[in-house]
A = this chain, B = another copy of it.
Amino acid sequence: MTDVTAEEYGCVPSMAPVFLMQARVYYEDTDSGGVVYYANYLKFMERARTEYLRSLGFQHSGPAASGDSGSAEQGAAPAVQFVVRDAHMKFVKPAKLDDLLDVSVLVSRLGNAGLDVDQVVSVGGQTVCSATIGLACVSAESLKPARIPAVVKQAMTHKIVEQHHQ
């Protein structure tokens, strides 16, 4: 993704560890070419991002994540959503019915108002599809650009640091 400037996102190089999720291929995911319908990889990737955010403690989070801090001092963090702003996908080899997919999530850039997520879908160690998904943080109410709540950003960073210390 060369079309997003570091300035725009206020990015720092990511050291985020990889989050992994598995998903099974069912009939609903395939097409008459006998393989997974390519648009559906965006669905598998979103499921994994959702579970990644859930693992950090954030619900309602597909592209949308409500940052609910529960902090008594600051009041609740403003409710935000992550909306998909761009997607750059490569379809490497087809996955088939009954395949067990490994779907990875790696925050490759973490900015003030958005982030990039690198994702790979693989079967038995072979890459099926890879993508970089650009997410923008918006207010859940106005849908206008918003800062990523500190609690969300800390959780992502904390997870990085935590794993680097293991």
Contacts and interface: CB of A to CB of B under 8 A. Distances in A.
B97 A32 contact: yes
A30 interface: yes
Interface string A91-111: 100001110000000000000
Contact of A27 (B27, B28, B62, B97): B62
Contact of A42 (B34, B39, B61): B39
B63 A97 contact: no
Given A27-B63, A84-B91, A88-B88, A96 B32 contact: yes
Q: How large is the interface on A (under 10, 10 to 19, 20 to 34, 35 or more residues)?
A: 35 or more
A123 to B, nearest CB: 15
A144 interface: no
B26 A46 contact: yes
A66 to B, nearest CB: 10
A28 B46 CA distance: 9
A75 interface: no
A35 interface: yes
Contacts of A87: 38, 87-89, 91
